[in-house]
């Protein structure tokens, strides 16, 4: 385990290493907002006991939110949610066969009792932002960084040349 992982606030788990290119976008965004995270590839169906150990260990190490990305019959986020009281954000991974609609429905259609906050297909950035919003509830400095991120995002659209004629108008 790398040194920075000991203080991770967000635990990211993927069903496979093949999900990393999508989920790396969450890691990158969390890094921009200075939120420590750790990412693992642990299949819920191929290695369920390892997944349970990861969830329990991550909680002990200080993880406060999980992000789980999986594709196809994507039960990983629901299984993580079943093993923790922490919030779980699910990311449906795009697939070859159904474009990720299979992943989306598998994750979003959780039966009542165990929720998973599901973002768009491939929506790893929004998963990271949702995790940040949750953490910011009890971290004023992080809230300030999130506000600055939002403001910069708005400014980049206002500064776009195609909107030049709208500047300064209400």
Binding site for ligand RP5 (CB under 6 A): 14-16, 18-19, 43, 70-72, 93
**Nearest to ligand RP5 of 70, 80 (CB atom):** 70
The two counts, helices (H) then strands (E), for the chain are 6, 5
Q: How far is the CB of 84 from ligand RP5 (least distance, A)?
A: 19
**Nearest to ligand RP5 of 8, 74 (CB atom):** 74
Strand order in the sheet with 117-118: 37-41, 10-14, 65-70, 88-92, 117-118
Find the residue with minimal CB distance to ligand RP5: 15
State the Cα–Cα distance between residues 122 and 23, nearest whole angstrom: 8
Q: How far is the CB of 13 from ligand RP5 (least distance, A)?
A: 10
Q: How far is the CB of 22 from ligand RP5 (least distance, A)?
A: 8
Closest CA to 62 of 8, 135, 141: 8
**Nearest to ligand RP5 of 12, 132 (CB atom):** 12
State the Cα–Cα distance between residues 76 and 37, nearest whole angstrom: 18
């Amino acid at each position: 385990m790398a040194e920075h992982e000991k203080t991770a606030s967000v635990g990211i788990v993927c069903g496979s290493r093949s999900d990393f290119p999508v989920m790396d976008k969450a890691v990158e965004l969390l890094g921009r907002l200075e939120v420590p995270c750790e990412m693992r590839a642990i299949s819920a169906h191929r290695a369920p006991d390892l997944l349970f150990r990861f969830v329990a260990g991550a909680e002990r190490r200080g993880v406060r939110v999980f992000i789980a990305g999986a594709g196809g019959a994507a039960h990983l986020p629901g299984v993580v949610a079943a093993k923790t009281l922490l919030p779980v954000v699910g990311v449906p991974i795009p697939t070859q066969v159904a474009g990720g609609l299979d992943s989306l429905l598998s994750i979003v259609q959780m039966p009542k009792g165990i929720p998973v906050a599901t973002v768009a297909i491939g929506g790893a950035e929004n998963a990271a932002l949702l995790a940040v919003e949750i953490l910011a509830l009890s971290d004023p400095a992080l809230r300030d960084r999130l506000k600055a991120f939002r403001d910069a995002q708005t400014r980049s659209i206002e500064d776009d040349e195609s909107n030049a004629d709208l500047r300064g108008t209400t």
